[in-house]
A and B are shown apart, each in its own frame.
Chain A
Amino acid sequence: MAGSDGALIRARALTKVFGDLRAVDSIDFDVRRGEAFGLLGPNGAGKSTTMRMIASVSKRSGGELSILGMDPNARGPDIRGHLGVVPQQDNLDVEIRVRDNLIVYGRYFGLPMRFLGPKADELLEFAQLTEKARVKVDLLSGGMKRRLTIARALVNEPDILLLDEPTTGLDPQARHILWDRLFRLKEAGVTLVITTHYMDEAEQLCDRLIVMDKGRIMAEGTPASLIQEYTSREVVELRFGSDRNALAAQRLAGMGRRIEILPDRLLIYTDSGEADLARVVELGLEPLTSLVRRSSLEDVFLRLTGRSLIE
């Protein structure tokens, strides 16, 4: 099934071109069994295009791609039989009932009704939708629809679950319920591939990730190793008001490892945030707000590209 090195997905110089645009520009990565693999990057980075190539629906323009040891250009339907796909935009069948959505989708895999009946009930339980089984999909909240979409993607007992921006557009509570469900899947050993532009999502769910920008891979590693490699342990965030930030930065020069000036705030990358904040106050500078926090993947992305993830 898998490649000789145990990788379920293996991409080498993977490229996708739309007209003049190199949406995905010669990227390499491997996804191993049981791992939660993330593609992190801003909108337009090429994450979703990469995902559609892995999903074996969009053909690559160049390079190599192997999924479960098969070439998606040649054996798309065979590969798709072993994947679960949670697309960015919900595409549930809104005219029929919640439970029937699972049954109909299972039929697309050629699964018999005697398998699908009990399977649908198990999945409803997993998605915490048992009480909504006979409700029309139209009447579900956004978070419930996402959970149903995830349950639907599990109906064929997939080897790899692909999640494209799973929590975009959900309120914080719905996101946490969804993360909890995804965490259960991860614990159960399901191989997950997740695209996201939320760093907290990537930090919570991903064992390993690639940071993408403009179709290229900027960095690869575990969330902790990326933070260690590309940024300091802590960050001091200071707001002086938008017209005074640059001026304050001049006076703070030399503090911490590095200072980043953003339109709305200053970031001091340092290994001792509290000490640096005390020095800021000693210098007689009076920030409107100040905050000492741990470095995150957001800082890694800023370091790599000079831009924020969410613009």
Chain B
Amino acid sequence: MSSEEKALQGAAAILGERRSARSIAFGAWFVAEARLRNMLAYLRTIALTSFFNPLMYILALGVGVGSYIDKSSGGRGVAGVSYITFVGPALLASAALTAAFEETSFPVMGGFKWTREFWAMNATPISARQIANGVLLAALFRVVFTVLLFWLFLAAFGAMPGRLCALSIPASVLAGLAFGSVIMAVASRLEEDDGWFAAINRLIIAPMFLFSGTFFPLENLPPALRWIGWISPLWHGTQLGRIAAFGLREPAWLVAAHVLFLAGLLAAGLGLSWSAFARRLAK
């Protein structure tokens, strides 16, 4: 029998239930698999940025600015540790947020608008909710990859002295995903780009990067500006990272607040994404 005949015969066959059962259970994973396959096309650039980004920040801020600050503070550094140790968890968390943003902004808008791949997925047993979950799952892989590399650099430069320093990895990943889920909720509602992502970059990510206790403790800001940190996933992720990386002391309620804030943001972002995906795909 020729291949063509086989293809035709298969198409006319009457099938049982085996087609749908697996994708109803693991749909999100199949979506993530497709997204990861797409990322492979960009593997070289992803690997290059994930490698040089940490090196650049550690050299400029840790070694450059850091040696100056450590000297002028008479060896006390910031918050009782060297500057690179202080700033390390913040850099780790912001790398997580940036990677998550890259996977949940344009790819989500494009899935609806340019490649229309979300419609292709939804024509199969995969549901709107599973598509959103799958996109975030793929972002998780990307964030873990980025954070892991960054963390290894920080450790190599001696910026991870704490006994529980490895816990700064999940702290940053959680912050990245929380942020990514919110960006996905926004991106899935955008019909046109209209410069929205550029605006988010300049008006939300840039101030967040500067005012979330990243380069100096949040307490150094005038009280009227500290709220920027309180609502910033970067600050919550950074503080959790610092507790793990060098044993920054914070009251238990505040530690719980960091975790709850990030988990809440993740849940809210995901919930809002579910409704947007479902509405748009069912039109």
Residues of A within 8 A of B (CB): 1, 55, 57-59, 76-78, 80-85, 87, 89-96, 100, 104-105, 107-111, 119, 121-123, 125-126, 151, 154, 156-159, 161, 184-185, 188-190
Whether B14 and A1, one on each chain, are in contact in the complex, defined by CB atoms closer than 8 angstroms, is yes
Whether B8 and A100, one on each chain, are in contact in the complex, defined by CB atoms closer than 8 angstroms, is no
For the complex of A and B, the 9 pairs showing the least CB-CB separation, nearest first, are A110-B22, A81-B20, A91-B116, A110-B23, A188-B8, A108-B124, A81-B19, A77-B125, A125-B3
Partner of B15, one of A122, A125, A159: A159
| Closest chain A residue to B111, Cβ basis | A91
Could you say which residues of chain A place their CB within 8 Å of the CB of B24? 77-78, 110
* Nearest CB of chain B from residue A12's CB, rounded to whole Å: 22
Residues of B within 8 A of A (CB): 2-4, 6-15, 17, 19-27, 30-31, 33-34, 37-38, 41, 115-117, 119-127, 281-283
Could you say which residues of chain B place their CB within 8 Å of the CB of A96? 37-38, 41
Main secondary structure of the interface of B (DSSP, over half): helix
In the assembly, what is the distance between CA of A80 and CA of B283, in Å?
A: 17
Inter-chain pairs besides A87-B119, A90-B116, A157-B19, 11 sampled, C-beta below 8 Å: A57-B281, A80-B124, A81-B124, A83-B123, A91-B119, A93-B34, A95-B38, A107-B30, A110-B24, A125-B2, A188-B9
Partner of A108, one of B21, B23, B282: B23
Main secondary structure of the interface of A (DSSP, over half): loop
Check A80/B20 contact, CB under 8 A, given A1-B14, A91-B115, A107-B34.
Answer: yes
* Nearest CB of chain A from residue B11's CB, rounded to whole Å: 5
Whether B23 and A77, one on each chain, are in contact in the complex, defined by CB atoms closer than 8 angstroms, is yes
In the assembly, what is the distance between CA of A95 and CA of B13, in Å?
A: 32
Partner of B38, one of A93, A123, A154, A184: A93
Check A94/B115 contact, CB under 8 A, given A107-B33, A108-B126.
Answer: yes
Whether A108 and B125, one on each chain, are in contact in the complex, defined by CB atoms closer than 8 angstroms, is yes
> Could you name 7 residue pairs across A and B whose Cβ atoms are closer than 8 Å?
A55-B123, A57-B281, A77-B23, A77-B127, A82-B19, A108-B121, A184-B4
Whether B30 and A110, one on each chain, are in contact in the complex, defined by CB atoms closer than 8 angstroms, is yes
Whether B19 and A110, one on each chain, are in contact in the complex, defined by CB atoms closer than 8 angstroms, is yes
Whether B4 and A85, one on each chain, are in contact in the complex, defined by CB atoms closer than 8 angstroms, is no
Whether A159 and B124, one on each chain, are in contact in the complex, defined by CB atoms closer than 8 angstroms, is no
Check A82/B20 contact, CB under 8 A, given A87-B119, A107-B33.
Answer: yes
Whether B124 and A87, one on each chain, are in contact in the complex, defined by CB atoms closer than 8 angstroms, is no
Partner of B4, one of A122, A161, A189: A122
Partner of B116, one of A55, A89, A107: A89
Could you say which residues of chain B place their CB within 8 Å of the CB of A85? 123
Check A159/B14 contact, CB under 8 A, given A93-B115, A95-B41, A110-B22.
Answer: yes
Specify which of B9, B41, B116, B120 lies most central, judged by the most chain A CB atoms within 10 Å of its CB.
B120
* Nearest CB of chain B from residue A16's CB, rounded to whole Å: 11
Whether A110 and B21, one on each chain, are in contact in the complex, defined by CB atoms closer than 8 angstroms, is yes
Whether B34 and A87, one on each chain, are in contact in the complex, defined by CB atoms closer than 8 angstroms, is no
Whether B13 and A157, one on each chain, are in contact in the complex, defined by CB atoms closer than 8 angstroms, is yes
Whether A185 and B8, one on each chain, are in contact in the complex, defined by CB atoms closer than 8 angstroms, is yes
Could you say which residues of chain A place their CB within 8 Å of the CB of B123? 55, 57, 80, 83, 85, 87
Could you say which residues of chain B place their CB within 8 Å of the CB of A157? 10-11, 13, 15, 19
* Nearest CB of chain A from residue B46's CB, rounded to whole Å: 14
Partner of B10, one of A1, A93, A104, A122: A122
| Closest chain B residue to A77, Cβ basis | B125
* Nearest CB of chain A from residue B56's CB, rounded to whole Å: 28
* Nearest CB of chain A from residue B186's CB, rounded to whole Å: 23
Could you say which residues of chain B place their CB within 8 Å of the CB of A161? 11
Could you say which residues of chain B place their CB within 8 Å of the CB of A109? 19-20, 22-23, 124-125
